[in-house]
Amino acid sequence: MYGRLRSEGKIGRLTIPNRVVMPAMGTNLSATGGGVTDDIIAFYEARAKGGVGLIITEVTRIEGGRGISDPCQLAAYRYSDIADLQRLTGAVQKYGTRIFIQLQHPGRMASPLVAGESPVAPSPVADPSTPDNVPRELTEDECAEMIGKFVFAAYVAKSAGADGVELHGAHGYLINEFLSPAMNFRTDRYGGSFENRMRFVEEILAGIKSGCGKHFPVSVRINAEESLPGGIDPEEAARIAAALERAGADAVNVSCYSLGCIEPGSYEQGWKKYMAAAVKKAVSIPVIAVSNIKDPSVAETLLEEGVCDFVGVGRGLLADPEWAAKTFSGGESVIRRCIGCLSCFAEIANLRQVRCAVNPKTGREREYLDPVRDGEGRAVAVIGGGPAGIEAALVLKERGFAPVIFDGGERLGGTLNTADRGYGKDKITKYVDSLVAQVDSAGIEVRLGREVTPKDVGGLDPCGVFLACGGEPCIPPVPGTDLDFVCTAEDVLLGRACPEGRIVVVGSGMTGLETAETLALKGCGVTMVEMLGEVGPGMYYLVVLDVMSRIGPHDPVVLTGHRLERIVPGGVELSRLSDGEKVAVQADSVVLAVGVAPRKGVTEPFKAAFPDAVVIGDARCCGRILEASQDARGRAFTFQPRAQRRGEVQHG
């Protein structure tokens, strides 16, 4: 099974053990000066141990200052970086995995907050997302100097034992800025014609091949599509790829520069394959392609169709470092599934270390390396079968306890079985399927279908109790919430309520947005009310843009900065916070989506019966899947059984 995916491949003369490539993704796990840390070694080593054929590191700076993309990223511009990177390459290669160091300069994308100085670029044109951050145009001599820095960085990488390098010529960074007619308006030898726009990267390739040897592999990452007027399209990308092959590149890695560069969960798997296919037709060197891959079957199909030669699995490997090994060993069902929530990118965007909503070990591999195995088969009751309860049970089982999950639903997953009802939420369903499979594979006992009582749990004589019973929809303390045309977002998503006509949705968090989207797509007239100053407060902006792109065409009324004062027959009364003005909105139905609160009616009786019960996830403090899974793993990892707390002697 998956014969193409598991087959060997070649990049130049280098043999890659399989066709799974981990493309470059930021982690912020390096030292502030660009040094290799034990944390970043553990991060990449886990993916190498998990069977990946080729790892391409995160963006690696080729100079300091204006060359810094992230506060904590790898570096390859000093002789001292050689020994540092050697620690990383050795940790990966001992598993048979190959490693390329990705060389990058941010160009106009450099942030003054991080770099500490003004950015540089081929032309003094700012990125649309930061219009005030206008870069300084590089002189022709500075272009040559920058080429030399890329070449030296490749020498550093090779000296450190890297199997190859990748030049980052995509995503709006410096090499891309030279390649793209939407960003390069020079009139000298590095701009204007296609040949001149290619010159910068071609001279880098020539320098690397001269300094590192003609057989030292070099991949170039390029855009096949840019959401910029006059930018690169698939036809132009094919032309660029063919020129790169003539210049000595050993592979091209196809991506894009748009919202789809890091697409939210609503995007289909494989949707970008037309980009890679256009490039593949133009070259004979291998094509690496990312295409929002979560499932091995989709990756195999891309190879079967000849879309690419290697499949880039990015966030799928954040979610499960053993993605490849499980695929090749028949364990596909227990792969932790990426849900496309973009929590990982949100963490990086906020200058924090990488985290994953569905895998709390990501970025914390060293911290969770060796759990204490002291369970001795003793029972632990876990009340609630959502992501927090399941995560805790899996950790407890790994430690040798005998966890028993109690849940009143007919299926494990908790509120995820509501969250998967919105548009494009099939990845949530697959994630729940994988959680169920992991619980089954671990041999964890599950009792579903009825609400459990402290008396039921007491019959287990557990050495510990974990309360993971989640939260329940908040009802705001305003008059009128008991009227018969008022319901919760949960009621709508589960089909318990089917409002029609004019609908006011109060709250624009993730649940509120998805509810508004569901209603708008049904043809309802939607008014969205949010007390804070923006829609989707606290959410990653790309997720908000994605959902609003589907709500927007239905002409919703968006009232930010408005507070719900009361619900009255026929509508709602609001208060505009900027001036206190009262605003009346007519409605046939009102949907409340103002968040959730811990289910104290469930937790309090258990806490009374078991004073040392461990409360986790939304039952303790409501948040996202990220916070719930992180909380659950941490508390289960450090859990001390009741008798140990009293210092009593344990008997086997």
Has residue 474 got a pLDDT over 50? Answer: yes
Q: Where are the beta strands (DSSP E) in 441-512?
A: 445-448, 464-467, 471-473, 486-488, 502-506
CB proximity list for 455: less than 8 A, separation 6 or greater: none
Q: Compute the distance between CA of residue 387 and CA of residue 282 in angstroms, rounded to an integer.
A: 45
CB proximity list for 156: less than 8 A, separation 6 or greater: 76, 77, 78, 79, 81, 82, 85
Q: Compute the distance between CA of residue 628 and CA of residue 584 in angstroms, rounded to an integer.
A: 38
Read off the tokens for 167: 């030049």
Task: Encode pLDDT of 380-393 as tens digits.
Answer: 999 999 999 999 99
- Residue 331 has a CB neighbour count (10 Å cut-off) of 14
**CA distances for 174 relative to 270, 275, 520, 575, angstroms:** 27, 21, 41, 48
Mean pLDDT to the nearest integer, 23-46: 96
Q: Compute the distance between CA of residue 76 and CA of residue 91 in angstroms, rounded to an integer.
A: 18
The DSSP code for 332 is: G
pLDDT in the model for residue 129: 81
pLDDT in the model for residue 623: 86
Mean pLDDT to the nearest integer, 277-304: 97
Mean pLDDT to the nearest integer, 590-614: 94
Has residue 375 got a pLDDT over 50? Answer: yes
Has residue 649 got a pLDDT over 60? Answer: no
pLDDT in the model for residue 117: 82
Has residue 559 got a pLDDT over 80? Answer: yes
Assign a CATH topology to domain 486-594: FAD/NAD(P)-binding domain (3.50.50)
Query: Are 404 and 426 a contacting pair, CB within 8 Å?
Result: no
- What share of the chain in percent tops pLDDT 90? 89
pLDDT in the model for residue 423: 79
Query: Are 610 and 338 a contacting pair, CB within 8 Å?
Result: no
Q: Which of 93, 650, 12 is nearest to 372 (CA)?
A: 650
Active site residue 173: yes
Q: Where residue 115 falls among pLDDT bands split at 50, 70, 90? A: low
Read off the tokens for 228: 């910029």
Rg (CA), the chain: 27
Tell me the CATH number for domain 3-349.
3.20.20.70
Mean pLDDT to the nearest integer, 40-51: 98
- Helix, coil or strand: residue 117: coil
Q: Where residue 261 falls among pLDDT bands split at 50, 70, 90? A: confident
Where does 165-311 have alpha helices with state H? 174-179, 194-212, 234-247, 273-280, 296-304
pLDDT in the model for residue 119: 94
Has residue 372 got a pLDDT over 90? Answer: yes
5-9, 372-376, 412-416: segment of lowest average pLDDT: 412-416
Task: Encode pLDDT of 326-352 as tens digits.
Answer: 999 999 999 999 999 999 999 998 999
**H or E element in which residue 257 lies:** strand 251-257
Question: CATH 3.40.50.720 occupies which residues in the chain?
Answer: 379-473+598-645
251-260, 445-454, 463-472: segment of lowest average pLDDT: 251-260
Query: Are 510 and 548 a contacting pair, CB within 8 Å?
Result: no
Q: What is the pTM of this model?
A: 0.94
pLDDT in the model for residue 331: 95
Partners of residue 98 on adjacent β-strands:
54
Read off the tokens for 131: 């219009």
Q: For 400, left (φ over 0), alpha (ψ -120 to 50), or beta?
A: left
CB proximity list for 343: less than 8 A, separation 6 or greater: 355, 356, 357, 540, 624, 625, 626
Task: Encode pLDDT of 133-168 as tens digits.
Answer: 899 999 999 999 999 999 999 999 999 999 999 999
pLDDT in the model for residue 652: 33
Q: Is 560 exposed, middle or buried (0-12, 13-18, 19+ CB in 10 A)?
A: middle
Architecture per CATH, 379-473+598-645: 3-Layer(aba) Sandwich (3.40)
Count CA atoms within 13 Å of residue 538 on its CB side: 10
Question: CATH 3.50.50.60 occupies which residues in the chain?
Answer: 486-594
pLDDT in the model for residue 646: 42
pLDDT in the model for residue 651: 35
Has residue 258 got a pLDDT over 90? Answer: no
pLDDT in the model for residue 538: 85
Query: Are 468 and 388 a contacting pair, CB within 8 Å?
Result: yes
Has residue 642 got a pLDDT over 90? Answer: no
pLDDT in the model for residue 260: 63
Q: Where are the beta strands (DSSP E) in 32-188?
A: 54-61, 74-75, 98-104, 120-121, 136-137, 164-169
Partners of residue 220 on adjacent β-strands:
167, 252
Residue at token pair 């697959």: 430
Has residue 647 got a pLDDT over 80? Answer: no
Read off the tokens for 211: 């300094």
Task: Encode pLDDT of 165-189 as tens digits.
Answer: 999 999 999 999 999 999 999 999 9
Question: CATH 3.20.20.70 occupies which residues in the chain?
Answer: 3-349
Q: Where residue 473 falls among pLDDT bands split at 50, 70, 90? A: very high
Mean pLDDT to the nearest integer, 194-214: 98
Has residue 472 got a pLDDT over 50? Answer: yes
- From the candidates 2, 44, 155, 173, give the one annotated as an active-site residue: 173
Mean pLDDT to the nearest integer, 496-501: 93
